[in-house]
Chains A and B, each alone.
Chain A
Amino acid sequence: MFSRLTNLRNAAALVIALSFALALPAGAQSANRKGLAAFDATHEVTLQGTIKEVVTHPPAGSPLGMHLTVATTTGTQDVHVGSYLPKHVTENLLHANAQVIVVGSSVNLAGKNIFLARQLVVGGQTIAVRSEHGALIWPKSDSNNRDLVRKFVAGGAQ
């Protein structure tokens, strides 16, 4: 939270947004929220379009993490790609006017639909964003094995 401490925030907008969320009729919220927002791989869809905007600081009411605004033939889609894409992807591949194919699924989070990308195809590269269960994938090491440097001999003084 504190990286933004020196930035003025629109507290009024935040309060309004939260108030709106809390003011939704209870029945409407319950109906929209079928349990927690589990990623459903059986209902994945594929979007193809053009990145209109890469949103790194989403507005109030939108989940944290990077979003792509993707223009498709049927309209504009807000695509959540999370906070953990490798730098070579965010810095070199994701930019306005780039063609992109997005495989993912919508989830309902506190009454709001969010499209979560599981996979991106952009710049000739296929980028895994989430697991089939919806878990965000972090930057991966070249090696599957950690260096385990054990020095202590348990049971004896060092």
Chain B
Amino acid sequence: MKITRLMLLATLIASISTLVACGGGSSSSNPATTGFTKASLKGNYTFLAQGEDTLAPGGFGLYSVAGVMVADGNGNISGGEQTYGNFTSAYEDTFTGTYSVSSNGLTTVTLNTGNQNIGPGASGTETFTVVLLSSSKGQISQFDGSATSSGTIDAQTSTAMPTAGYAFSVVGADLNAVAPLNFGGVFNIDNNPSAGAISGAGSVTDANDFGTVSLAQSLSGSITPPDAFGFVAITLTAGFTSFPVSFDGYIVDSTHIQLVEFDNFGATGGTAIAQGSATGTFTSNSAFSGSFVYGLSGFNSIGAGADAGTITADGGGNLTNGLIDQNLSGTVISDTLFGSYAVDNTGTGRVIATTNFGVNGTGPMLIFYLTGTGNPVPVIQSDTFAYAAGAAYPQGSGTPSFNGTYGVGFNVIQTSSFTPNDGVAQITATSSSGTFSGTANINEGFVPTSAQTFNGTFTSITGGRAAGTITVSSGSPIMNALYFIDSTQGFVIETDNGAVTLGTVRQQVVP
């Protein structure tokens, strides 16, 4: 399921993407399970969702959609902008729409773009299901017959011109090879020689394009000033391709920009995270230290894949005390993980890491892009086998508690029937019994199905990891592992051979 995808998803995840764009909510003990209303959604919200649509040749293709919607607190989307990119097209559109909110936070958003190239029946209408985590955060999933995806929605708190270093990771497709592509790096908006310029100093990128791995490549370009919705166009020249690389970006806040690729090179999407005052300061291995929880999703030689786990960087070049669940197209490795890393001495924050499983030989090659204390760290897997992107989060201290109400977002990258699934759920977890129960809205292969029961079990948490099951409606239990960043958020990855799934679990706080 998609508490893992990220990896693909994360990844995206994956995400997927990667899959979790912004930080979690504040800690709370068993908040009430009801209380959301239309008024809970008011103001500007930036969203990103990644998944698959039916609009590509063969009826399957990756797509990303990001934008900003303006909710009036009374059920109307008064305006907004979005970028929708798939294998065949990329569109910028404005929209209006409507939304409804259930008391448990499950929300339906309908956007009318007027673009008769997207939406069910070329209607130009997109429907999303959202589980609100608070009045400022949620998990989002496209929920109609034209596309299925998952991602995040966050209150927009800034539209200021970005500056300094931004670390990013993206995954998707090379449009010319029509095959997997991931890349990541740091673009440093150093305003040299002019405002918005990315001179290349302090910037770097790595890519795995169609199986060709290119490391520590040059990256330069520019970023436009934001428009009224926080839209920016980022144009890059990357050393790994002769094609221009461009992203449409939608600013979330002073540290996050959601990205959808807008060019003829790739169909990717992801999140850029600001390095802020730490830009250029990462010059030695001591810059990477502490324990992290990671989730990535993407693709490999077999099909789709996702990773989730924990790892500790000791500040001296060693990775220790790691755990990993890796789902390679239904073949799952649950193992310990260790390795070594090297922080580039150029200051960009690029960290290249080689890993080994405890008993399964060579582990994934990971490249981290540091962002500074406390911020999520974009990460890609770039070896000759896999193409994944996601993020690593600083792990909280102490043993987390999985108790209270949570929103779940998940992306099922691959199933035995080839059909992707995405969705969101609202659950109540009870740590004393090791169970949770709730309700999910799931787009099962472009067939949206609302109000499914979403119940499960979980073991005690050891080293940040718990094993569990999820049962949807009358189906059989699905095995998974949960990795907690802290008591408010974590990743979930499917650990059986039924599907490749990565998702996120984030605590819900009623406004």
Indicate if B102 sits at the interface (CB-CB under 8 A): no
**Complex interface bits, B224-238 against A, C-beta within 8 A gives 1, otherwise 0:** 111111011100000
Q: Assess whether B104 is interfacial by the CB under 8 Å rule.
A: no
With A136-B301, A150-B92 in contact, is A84–B227 under 8 Å at CB?
Answer: no
Cβ–Cβ contact A1 & B176, under 8 A: no
Q: A4-B499, A36-B383, A63-B328 are in contact. Are A30 and B178 (CB under 8 A)?
A: no
Question: Given the complex, which residues of B lie within 8 Å of A141, measured CB to CB?
Answer: 56-57, 87-88, 175, 178
CA distance A48 to B292 in the complex (A): 49
Measured CB to CB, the closest approach of chain B to A12, in angstroms, equals 11
Min Cβ gap A79→B in Å is 13
- Residues of chain A with a CB closer than 8 A to B61's CB: 138-139
Interface residue? A43 (CB, 8 A): no
Contacts of A138 in B (CB 8 A): 56, 58, 60-62, 87, 173, 178-179
Docked CA distance A23–B494 (Å): 20
B-chain residues with CB within 8 Å of residue A135 when the two chains form the complex: 177, 179-180, 210-211, 299, 301, 387
C-alpha spacing A155/B162, complex, angstroms = 12
**A156–B331 contact, CB under 8 A?**
no
Total B residues in contact with A, Cβ cutoff 8 Å: 96
Residues of A within 8 A of B173 (CB): 138
The answer to whether B180 touches A1, judged by C-beta atoms less than 8 angstroms apart, is no
Q: Bound complex: CA of A32 vs CA of B92, how far in Å?
A: 49
Q: Which residue of B lies closest to A148 (CB)?
A: B90
Instruction: Determine if B210 and A7 form an interchain contact, defined as CB atoms under 8 angstroms apart.
Output: no
Check A83–B421 contact: CB distance below 8 A: no
Whether the pair A9, B301 counts as a contact (CB closer than 8 A) is no
* Bound form: Cα–Cα A56–B414 in Å: 13
Q: Please judge, given known A-B contacts A38-B385, A87-B58, A137-B179, whether A147 and B302 are in contact too, CB under 8 Å.
A: no
* A8 x B476 contact (CB < 8 A): yes
- Per-residue CB proximity of B190-205 to A under 8 Å, as 1/0? 0000000000000000
C-alpha spacing A48/B358, complex, angstroms:
39
Write the nearest CB–CB distance from A151 to chain B, whole angstroms: 4
B178 x A139 contact (CB < 8 A): yes
Report Cα–Cα, A4/B2, bound state, in Å.
14
In the complex the two chains form, what is the Cα distance from A31 to B196 in whole Å? 52
* B-binding residues in A (CB < 8 A): 1-9, 11, 14, 17-18, 22, 26, 29-30, 33-39, 56-58, 60-66, 80, 82-84, 86-87, 107, 109-112, 114, 116, 130-158
Q: Interface of B with A (CB < 8 Å)? A: 1-2, 56-62, 81, 85, 87-94, 117, 173, 175-180, 210-212, 224-229, 231-233, 248, 262-264, 267, 299-304, 328-334, 358-364, 383-387, 412, 414-419, 421, 423, 442, 444-445, 472-479, 494, 496-501
